[in-house]
């Protein structure tokens, strides 16, 4: 059968030009591992995690010490979604639209919406990983960077990563309120003589600050806090580094994704396992920064907030590939791949010729994973 999709290439790339202007920040910021792209949907992919190495005292002798063995752990991820967005025409529809002279424009816009829905879903899946971050910084319900000439919001959030030993290649993904404050209030960034560039003033490009890449995302989540109130820690006492904290006396829910503080400790700890009544919550690694005394220490559940994120690129992983075809192909009359130059996602375009109509499918398979919670932090807004 004759190849027909090549005639669509200008239309597809015109559509991608529209999609590339969407606020996509997480996709270009996270780690991409092509070695896992051959996995089938829901097939477990093992990712090794090497733990800390113990040091030893040097003692002269005939042979070195008999040590150095290790038992690396691992985490897993999967390609969990394989989805498509359809574009279908029947002959009468094509004829009618073509007669108006608008067929090319309408076709391009329909493909644009197909690309858009898949890109936005991937972006949303990555943004949802905020609940696994190590700690939070900032004020709930208050957009960061609201004080002119003050970039401490990003400095303090990066400090969390540095204190946790993050390896660098830092990424900052911000929602529209935080970006607006940067553009409109942080005059050290748009004053050319101070910033050393007119990129923000002329083109709205923030670029790189404090050795971190700044991204703008429409997918940044707003998280609604649980109803938990009046909880205290148990009287057992909890050491620095502890992640499981027993809480007593209070009522209401503490949700995975809430941040909590304990009296006498300003750190905002992210909850990864919550409770609906007194019990044991789990906070993200590396756990407590300040020990909790062996007494009932008051715990406060933080407020509803936007979840901007700061992380090392390697802390979050994204796998994408074309949806798998059976050996020998399916009933598609033609198949091609088109890459979005901005997000870097490669879409599979399939054409299915049906009775008096033709259907195109824009397809993508993907999976996301938080690899290193200790290398991520939430900037509240």
pLDDT tens-place values along the chain, 381 residues long = 444 567 777 777 666 665 444 578 999 999 986 556 667 788 777 776 666 777 889 889 888 888 887 777 677 788 999 999 999 989 888 887 776 777 777 788 888 889 889 999 999 999 999 999 999 999 999 999 999 999 999 999 999 999 999 999 999 999 999 999 998 998 878 766 556 575 655 555 577 898 899 999 999 999 999 999 999 999 999 999 999 999 999 999 999 999 999 999 999 999 999 999 999 999 999 999 999 999 999 999 999 999 999 999 999 999 999 999 999 899 999 999 988 766 779 999 999 999 999 999 999 999 999 999 999 999 999
Q: Where are the domains of the chain?
A: 5-37+75-128+316-370, 130-222+308-314, 225-303
Per-residue tokens: 118: 């898949």
Task: Render 279-298 in DSSP notation, one character per residue.
Answer: EEEEEPTT--SSPBPSS--B
Q: Is the backbone of residue 340 left (phi > 0), alpha (psi -120 to 50) or beta?
A: beta
Residue 276 and residue 307: Cα distance in Å, rounded?
23
Q: Give pLDDT, residue 20.
A: 45
Q: Which CATH number fits domain 225-303: 1.20.1530, 1.20.1070, 2.40.30, 2.60.40?
A: 2.40.30
Residue 360 and residue 15: Cα distance in Å, rounded?
14
pTM of the predicted protein model: 0.88
**373: Cα within 13 Å, side-chain hemisphere:** 20
Q: Give pLDDT, residue 3.
A: 47
Asked if omega into 286 is within 30° of 0 (cis), the reply is yes
Burial class (CB in 10 A: 0-12, 13-18, 19+), 57: exposed
Q: Give pLDDT, residue 270.
A: 98
Q: Give pLDDT, residue 84.
A: 96
């Amino acid at each position: 059968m004759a190849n027909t999709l090549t005639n669509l290439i200008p239309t597809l790339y015109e559509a991608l030009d529209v999609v590339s202007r969407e606020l996509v920040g997480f996709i270009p910021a996270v780690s991409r591992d092509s070695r896992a792209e051959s996995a089938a949907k829901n097939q477990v992919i093992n990712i090794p995690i090497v733990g800390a190495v113990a040091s030893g005292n040097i003692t002269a002798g005939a042979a070195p010490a008999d040590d150095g063995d290790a038992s690396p752990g691992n985490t897993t991820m999967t390609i969990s979604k394989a989805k498509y967005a359809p574009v279908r025409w029947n002959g009468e529809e094509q004829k009618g639209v073509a007669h108006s002279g608008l067929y090319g424009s309408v076709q391009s816009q329909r493909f644009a919406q197909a690309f858009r829905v898949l890109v936005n879903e991937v972006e949303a899946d990555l943004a949802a990983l905020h609940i696994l971050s190590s700690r939070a910084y900032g004020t709930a319900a208050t957009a960061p960077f609201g004080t002119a000439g003050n970039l401490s919001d990003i400095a303090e959030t990066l400090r969390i990563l540095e204190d946790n030993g993050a390896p660098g290649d830092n990424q900052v993904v911000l929602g529209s309120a935080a970006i607006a404050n940067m553009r409109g209030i942080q005059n050290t960034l748009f004053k050319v003589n101070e910033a050393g560039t007119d990129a923000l003033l002329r083109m709205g490009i923030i670029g790189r600050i404090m050795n971190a890449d700044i991204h703008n995302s429409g997918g940044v989540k707003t998280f609604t806090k649980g109803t938990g109130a009046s909880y205290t820690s148990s009287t057992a006492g909890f050491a620095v580094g502890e992640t499981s904290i027993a809480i007593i006396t209070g009522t209401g829910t503490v949700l995975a994704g809430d941040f909590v503080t304990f009296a006498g400790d300003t750190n905002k700890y992210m909850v990864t396992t919550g409770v609906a009544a007194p019990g044991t919550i789990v906070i993200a690694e590396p756990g407590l920064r300040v020990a909790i005394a062996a007494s009932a220490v008051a715990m406060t559940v933080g407020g509803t907030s936007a979840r901007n994120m700061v992380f090392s690129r390697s802390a979050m992983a994204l796998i994408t590939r074309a949806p798998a075809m059976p050996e020998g192909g399916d009933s598609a009359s033609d198949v091609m791949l088109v890459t979005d130059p901005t997000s870097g996602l490669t879409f599979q375009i399939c054409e299915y010729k049906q009775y008096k109509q033709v259907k195109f499918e824009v397809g993508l398979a993907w999976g996301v994973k938080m690899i290193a919670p200790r290398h991520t932090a939430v900037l509240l807004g």
